[in-house]
Amino acid sequence: MARPRKPLLSTDRIVETARALVDTEGLAGLSTRRLAAELGVSGPSLYNHFRTKDEILEAVADSVSAQVDLSMFQDGRPWRTALHDWAVSYRSALRDHPNIVPVLAQGPGRRPAGLRLADAVYGAMVDAGWPPAQATSIGALMRYFIMGSALGSFAGGFVDDASAYDPADYPHLGQAHLLAEQQEKIDERAFETGLGALLEGLAQQYEQVGRTA
């Protein structure tokens, strides 16, 4: 009887498995030895697709960037609406894969999906009438805001022990122990509040750009 054939090792399969490892165990949990074991192959076979572990991490990061929806920059939505919808999609991708955020925060480098993302945002802002320098600043600003929101949870940073918030020391934190159980709702609301304020400020600047033009 013929042996069952092992699934062919491919770049996509390596990246998917590496991403799952990073998701569950963090960046420290990814090694070529561990990855090869998860794939059921020998370590050297990985080098037919990637030269180093860093290259694998770069590919994992780019696979997360590829999950961000860019269609809003191509279907005629106003620039403000497009930025909002893109920011929500971007944060959703980062929220699903928070452990890779430190790699993404370093910038797109040579990653194709990351560069397409930057190109789409910059191009849409210039097409909407923003001067190139301000379009660049908007892209940077949005990335700072979205990345920052994905690096940690404000609500999740408070312990659920009421005794940690002695009113003699922290008179305004009497309900802080309740924050953690509403973490998702609080963090989503904070993101939308910040995003709305950011876009409103940009809209005011955009009016000034129009008057100047």
Look up the CATH number of the domain holding residue 34. 1.10.10.60
Rg of the chain, C-alpha, whole Å? 22
Q: Name which of 67, 23, 30 is nearest 50 in CA terms.
A: 30
Same domain, 57 and 73: no
Same domain, 120 and 48: no
pLDDT given at position 6: 56
Per-residue pLDDT of 46-105, as tens digits, reads 988 999 999 999 999 999 999 999 999 999 999 999 999 999 999 999 999 999 999 999
Domain range for 150 is 68-212
- 3-state SS, residue 138: helix
The answer to whether 191 touches 92, Cβ cutoff 8 Å, is: no
Domain total in the chain: 2
Task: Bin 76: left if φ > 0, else alpha if -120 < ψ < 50, else beta.
Answer: left
Same domain, 95 and 196: yes
Same domain, 25 and 120: no
Q: Name which of 135, 133, 131, 132 is nearest 82 in CA terms.
A: 135
Asked which of 27, 45, 63 is the last residue of a domain, the reply is 63
Q: What single-letter amino acid sits at 135?
A: A
Q: Specify the residue for token string 């076979």.
A: 45
Same domain, 124 and 204: yes
Per-residue pLDDT of 19-56, as tens digits, reads 999 999 999 999 999 999 999 988 788 988 999 999 99
Cα→Cα distances 4→1, 7, 8, 12, 41, Å: 9, 9, 12, 21, 15
DSSP 5: P
Same domain, 172 and 196: yes
* Confidence tier at 213 by pLDDT (50, 70, 90): low
Half-sphere exposure of 154 (CA within 13 A, CB side): 10
Per-residue pLDDT of 145-199, as tens digits, reads 999 999 888 999 999 999 999 999 999 999 999 998 999 999 999 999 999 999 9
- 3-state SS, residue 98: helix
Same domain, 147 and 54: no
Same domain, 107 and 202: yes
Same domain, 42 and 85: no
**Residue 94 belongs to a domain with what CATH number?**
1.10.357.10
Q: Name which of 13, 50, 29, 186 is nearest 100 in CA terms.
A: 29
Cα→Cα distances 31→19, 28, 57, 146, 156, Å: 12, 8, 10, 28, 29
Same domain, 35 and 110: no
Q: Structure pTM?
A: 0.89
CA gap 181, 194 in Å, rounded: 21
Q: What single-letter amino acid sits at 60?
A: V
Same domain, 144 and 72: yes
Residues in the chain: 213
Same domain, 53 and 118: no
Inside any domain, residue 5: no
Check pLDDT > 50 for residue 140: yes
